[in-house]
Structure 1
Amino acid sequence: MSATTPGPRGLGSPEPRTPIDRLLSELASRVDEIVMDRERLRALLDAVISISSDLELAAILDRIVAAALKLVDARYGAMGVLDDAGGLADFRTQGLSLAEITALGDPPAGRGILGHIIDHPEPLRLIDLSSHPASVGFPPGHPPMRTFLGVPVTVGDKAWGNLYLTDKRGGELFTEDDEALIKALAAAAGVAIDNARLYSELAASQAERERLVVFRDRDRIGRDLHDLVIQRLFATGLQLQSIVHLVDESEAAARINSAVDEIDGAIGDLRAAIFSLHTDTDQELSAAVRSLVGLVRHQLGFMPEVRFIGPVDGAVSESVHIEVLAMLREALSNAARHADAKRVDITVAAEDETLSVTVLDDGRGIPVEAPRRGLNNLASRAEALGGTFGFEDAVPTGTRLHWTIPL
């Protein structure tokens, strides 16, 4: 026996390690049960490769049903996924038209023949569905179905769902070979489903690890900003304040005091930025906005009014959540440092698949000669999210900033 050839289980040889190895191994254990020609064997192998080519569970289930229909030439097929209580959590069909699916209304709840296979997870092959004791007939609008083949799908040792096939084309009956063929497909399907579930768990775990890395980086940046930048700015401001009385020129003293005010404003901006770094995006947007407003009220000298319209907390994605806080922080900082406002009103609205944010102040407005760096930054942030930003003079005084972002 070569080093690359797997030996019998139980003799110390390794189990198949890759997903496709597991699928083919499970398939090989079933092929001996099937009497088939080369064409059907190739069709079965193609079906197994097809269902293993996707890692998204819903797509895999649809591929399984489609492969089963092709393998045994059935007109209708379905995959019923079991819930923890033994009912049907999902029911995916193929062969029915959209009009037929719409006419049938709610998916089946697991009664009749479907319920029988749920209660007795064994293959079931019928010449006529209506002749089985468990049959309860079809609802109005359901297409007629006569022949039937049902096979359970297991994941590990647990019954996970059932594969249902009806109406073999040409009026023929499902054969023993058909049953063995679908049993082999169901075994491989169980492995593919297990792979998809494992992949989903690993992806979620990786996303959580990346999320933790981001939060650790945010904490580090926040600490650096506080310990290295804010403290140095604060010390510089104190030094400037300590020498004001030594300056005889009133204009020089005024410039020093102005510089101290700018330093205070910069410290406020940095604290707001640190707040944004530490804001958990799991926090509802309305709560995060209120926290930010509470933080900048010391710069403004008063508490802004905040109003929310529509499902603000449920409609906003994480990326939009972060950008909204950043834009609000910059808009409020500008109002505090340049507008000399006595009132600021903030409106955040989620309506018609759009998030709109408005900041209205009663300050002195934006001078024509004023630099546009902050306004350009607000515009670029909105455009990056596919939105727009604009500003205008308010009546009778002040400025109205407004941006819209598609949800």
Structure 2
Amino acid sequence: MDPVSPPHQGDPQLRKLPIDDLLGELSSRIDEIVLGRERLRALLDAVISIGSDLELAAILDRIVAAACTLVDARYGALGVLDDSGGLADFRTHGLTEEEIVALGDPPTGRGILGHIIEVPEPLRLADLSRHPASVGFPPGHPPMRTFLGVPVKVGEKAWGNLYLTDKRGGGMFTDDDEDIIKALAAAAGVAIDNARLYGQLAASQAERERLVVFRDRDRIGRDLHDLVIQRLFATGLQLQSIVHLVDAPEAATRIHSAVDEIDGAISDLRAAIYSLHTDTAQAFSQTVRGLCGVVRHHLGFAPQVEFAGPVDDAVPELVRIEVLAMLREALSNAARHAHARQVLVTIAVEAGALRIRVADDGIGIPPQAPRRGLANLASRAAALGGEFTVNPAEPSGTELRWSIPLPPPN
């Protein structure tokens, strides 16, 4: 299949939405306020900036930074409301990383913040500490005095609040400051609504693409079963039916060997079909156990499987797909060539890597044996930025090991 384009490139509906609606909302407010040319230019630049992205987190950070710049505030924050009226998210600007760490958990919506949540109207204060709703600052909080708070609405619903403190120069926030932040908040509401719509459309397209992938997998699986497995099976039966017609023992041995190889190929194809039909939402450990269950009929016993670490949560889908292919090939090789009585599969997530070990107690790999399968396993690991090694097992058999780096957790 062709690589999937990013949502805003592959679907006209998902291309970046124009900022006309932001500027339209802003223009409806301009008549209500009197701004100098420089401040008006700064406001327009801020609106264009927050409208240039459709990722919600980035938009929120741009809004806070733009608000601080517009009114020359030392500190700014944007509180996002949850369904119960508390704060679901709290974005800050102006605090150092050390100050953020010292403050610990973000505020929950008490004091002045809670007052604006309950009364979603603009609020300007000369001294935060003198307001009746003030509850003071927690330890490690930088001192703040002057305050300007403005609600951010999406449609007619209060979505969050902009908080600005400590106007540089020591003065109070002015009427013009309040007006310009109200205009910014109006445009911010439109930008936030656009980002949420974009997120819904992108999720919808991702689901459609997922369904297309599943349909392709189903079609490939049916073709493998109907066109390939059945023909291989029929060929194996034909070969078995003529063995008694062959007088030369060497020729008969080769026919039996060919039949065994066909049986192995059929087992591999069935395991591949199982992988194609595996639901990506299924736990990775469950998928591995299912694959081992498929190959047990060819091995003659069930491989022992062990897991360690967060294998179900830390392994991305792309890595899972490749690991299943590698396990399928490794177990198939053990079934056809090792003459093993036991196979142990160990999968662990540790130290930022996925570590896989497949060990059998078979006859080992003869020196003259072809290495195409091992080279394929090594190349698959290398494509994921990992390493693959093969060593003799103790007291007998073969040990295969993979180490594949994993992305850091979110």
- 1:106 paired to 2:109: no
- Map 1:163-174 to 2 at 5 A: 163-174=162-173
Q: Deviations over 1:277-312 (max 9, x none)?
A: 111221111111111111111111111111112222
Question: 1:222 maps to what in 2?
Answer: 221
Q: Deviations over 1:241-278 (max 9, x none)?
A: 11222222222222222211111111111111111111
Supply the AA of the counterpart residue of 1:196. A
Count of matched residue pairs: 391
Distance in 1 of aligned mates of 2:140 and 2:287? 51
Distance in 2 of aligned mates of 1:26 and 1:261? 74
Supply the AA of the counterpart residue of 1:201. Q
Supply the AA of the counterpart residue of 2:19. I
- 1:192 paired to 2:164: no
Question: 2:212 maps to what in 1?
Answer: 213
State the Cα distance separating 1:163 from its structure 2 match.
0.3
Indicate conservation of the 8 Å contact 1:296/1:332, yes or no: yes
Supply the AA of the counterpart residue of 2:124. R
Question: 1:128 maps to what in 2?
Answer: 127
State the Cα distance separating 1:131 from its structure 2 match.
2.1
Question: 2:78 maps to what in 1?
Answer: 79
Supply the AA of the counterpart residue of 2:202. A
Q: Deviations over 1:332-377 (max 9, x none)?
A: 0001111111111111111111111111111111111111111011
Distance in 1 of aligned mates of 2:40 and 2:393? 76
Distance in 1 of aligned mates of 2:315 and 2:143? 46
Question: 1:360 maps to what in 2?
Answer: 359
State the Cα distance separating 1:18 from its structure 2 match.
4.5
Q: Deviations over 1:58-104 (max 9, x none)?
A: 11111111111111111111100001100011111112222222222
The DSSP-based 3-state class of the residue aligned with 1:319 is helix
State the Cα distance separating 1:168 from its structure 2 match.
1.3
Moved more, 358-367 or 374-383: 358-367
Supply the AA of the counterpart residue of 1:329. R
Q: Deviations over 1:8-28 (max 9, x none)?
A: xxxxxxxxx953010000000
The DSSP-based 3-state class of the residue aligned with 2:366 is coil
Question: 1:150 maps to what in 2?
Answer: 149
Question: 1:203 maps to what in 2?
Answer: 202
- 1:175 paired to 2:169: no
Indicate conservation of the 8 Å contact 1:91/1:107, yes or no: yes
Question: 1:95 maps to what in 2?
Answer: 94
Supply the AA of the counterpart residue of 1:85. S
Question: 2:7 maps to what in 1?
Answer: none
Q: What are the ranges of 5 or more consecutive residues in structure 2 without an aligned counterpart? A: 1-15
- Map 1:282-297 to 2 at 5 A: 282-297=281-296
Supply the AA of the counterpart residue of 1:354. A
Question: 2:377 maps to what in 1?
Answer: 378
Question: 2:316 maps to what in 1?
Answer: 317
Distance in 1 of aligned mates of 2:216 and 2:255? 36
Question: 2:303 maps to what in 1?
Answer: 304
Q: 1:18 to 1:199 in 2, by over 3 A?
A: closer
Indicate conservation of the 8 Å contact 1:51/1:60, yes or no: yes
Question: 1:13 maps to what in 2?
Answer: none
Supply the AA of the counterpart residue of 1:168. K
Query: Could you tell me the TM-score, scaled by structure 2's length?
Result: 0.93
The DSSP-based 3-state class of the residue aligned with 2:19 is helix
The DSSP-based 3-state class of the residue aligned with 2:54 is coil
The DSSP-based 3-state class of the residue aligned with 1:173 is coil
Supply the AA of the counterpart residue of 2:36. D
Supply the AA of the counterpart residue of 2:155. G
Q: Deviations over 1:93-130 (max 9, x none)?
A: 11222222222222111111111110011111122222
Question: 2:62 maps to what in 1?
Answer: 63
Indicate conservation of the 8 Å contact 1:80/1:90, yes or no: yes
- 1:279 paired to 2:295: no
State the Cα distance separating 1:150 from its structure 2 match.
0.6
Indicate conservation of the 8 Å contact 2:17/2:194, yes or no: no
Question: 2:42 maps to what in 1?
Answer: 43
Indicate conservation of the 8 Å contact 2:343/2:359, yes or no: yes
Distance in 2 of aligned mates of 1:355 and 1:191? 43
Moved more, 69-78 or 246-255: 246-255
The DSSP-based 3-state class of the residue aligned with 1:19 is coil
Indicate conservation of the 8 Å contact 1:19/1:195, yes or no: no
Distance in 2 of aligned mates of 1:233 and 1:140? 75
RMSD: 1.3
Moved more, 133-142 or 112-121: 133-142
Distance in 2 of aligned mates of 1:123 and 1:300? 73
Q: 1:267 to 1:170 in 2, by over 3 A?
A: same
Indicate conservation of the 8 Å contact 2:391/2:400, yes or no: yes
State the Cα distance separating 1:321 from its structure 2 match.
1.0
Distance in 2 of aligned mates of 1:101 and 1:258? 69
Question: 1:27 maps to what in 2?
Answer: 26
Indicate conservation of the 8 Å contact 1:81/1:89, yes or no: yes
Distance in 2 of aligned mates of 1:200 and 1:18? 12
Distance in 1 of aligned mates of 2:121 and 2:336? 75
The DSSP-based 3-state class of the residue aligned with 1:171 is coil
Moved more, 96-105 or 234-243: 96-105
Question: 2:269 maps to what in 1?
Answer: 270
Supply the AA of the counterpart residue of 1:105. G
Indicate conservation of the 8 Å contact 1:281/1:322, yes or no: no
State the Cα distance separating 1:238 from its structure 2 match.
1.0
Supply the AA of the counterpart residue of 2:188. A
- Percent same amino acid among aligned pairs? 79
